[in-house]
Chains A and B, each alone.
Chain A
Amino acid sequence: MNKFFISPIRLATWPALFVLISSVGLANVAAADTKLEVQLIWGTNGESSPDKNHKVLDPALSKKLGMFKWKKYFTVNREEISLTSHGAQKIRLGQCEVAIKQIEGSRYEINVFGKGKHVRKITEKITKEDSLAIAGDDKNDCAWIILIREI
Chain B
Amino acid sequence: MKEETKLKLQAYLDGEVSNRETRDTVDLLRKDNEAQSLFAELQFTKTALRGNEMEMKLPESRDFYWSKIRREIERQPKELARSFDGRWWKPAYARIAAGLAAGCALLMISFLAFNAGTSPSLPGEMESTGEEMGAITYHSNADGMTVVYLVDRE
Give chain A's interface residues, CB within 8 Å of chain B.
16, 19-20, 23-24, 26-28, 30-31, 34, 64-67, 104-107, 112, 117-125, 127, 129-137
Number of A-B contacts (CB under 8 A): 118
A124: chain B residues at CB < 8 Å are 124-125, 146, 148
Are A118's CB and B130's CB within 8 A? yes
A133: chain B residues at CB < 8 Å are 145-148
Q: How far is the CB of B38 from chain A (nearest CB, A)?
A: 90
Chain B interface residue count, CB cutoff 8 Å, equals 34
Q: A20-B106, A104-B120, A105-B119 are in contact. Are A129 and B133 (CB under 8 A)?
A: no
| Contacts A105-B116, A125-B120 known; 18 new A-B pairs at CB < 8 A | A20-B110, A23-B114, A27-B116, A27-B117, A28-B116, A31-B116, A64-B143, A106-B119, A106-B121, A117-B130, A120-B150, A123-B126, A124-B146, A125-B122, A130-B145, A136-B150, A136-B152, A137-B151
Smallest CB-CB separation from B121: which chain A residue? A125
Q: 8 Å CB contacts to A: which residues of B92-131?
A: 106, 109-110, 113-122, 124-130
Report the bound CA distance from A139 to B129 in whole Å.
23
Q: A27-B113, A117-B130 are in contact. Are A122 and B124 (CB under 8 A)?
A: yes
Report the bound CA distance from A27 to B112 in whole Å.
9
Smallest CB-CB separation from B133: which chain A residue? A119
Are A106's CB and B147's CB within 8 A? no
Q: Does B84 contact A (CB under 8 A)?
A: no
A132: chain B residues at CB < 8 Å are 145-146, 148
Best-surrounded residue of B128, B129, B138 (most CB of chain A within 10 A): B129
Smallest CB-CB separation from B138: which chain A residue? A67
A134: chain B residues at CB < 8 Å are 147-148, 150
Contact of A27 (CB < 8 Å), options: B114, B140, B145: B114
Contact of B122 (CB < 8 Å), options: A19, A107, A112: A107
Q: Does B51 contact A (CB under 8 A)?
A: no
Q: How far is the CB of B35 from chain A (nearest CB, A)?
A: 95
Report the bound CA distance from A130 to B133 in whole Å.
25
A107: chain B residues at CB < 8 Å are 120, 122
Report the bound CA distance from A16 to B102 in whole Å.
10
Contact of A119 (CB < 8 Å), options: B113, B115, B116, B130: B130
Sampled A-B contacts (23; CB under 8 Å)? A20-B110, A27-B115, A27-B116, A28-B116, A31-B116, A66-B143, A67-B147, A105-B119, A106-B119, A118-B130, A120-B126, A120-B129, A120-B148, A120-B150, A121-B129, A122-B125, A122-B127, A124-B146, A125-B121, A130-B144, A131-B146, A133-B148, A135-B150
Report the bound CA distance from A10 to B119 in whole Å.
33
Q: How far is the CB of A145 from chain B (nearest CB, A)?
A: 9
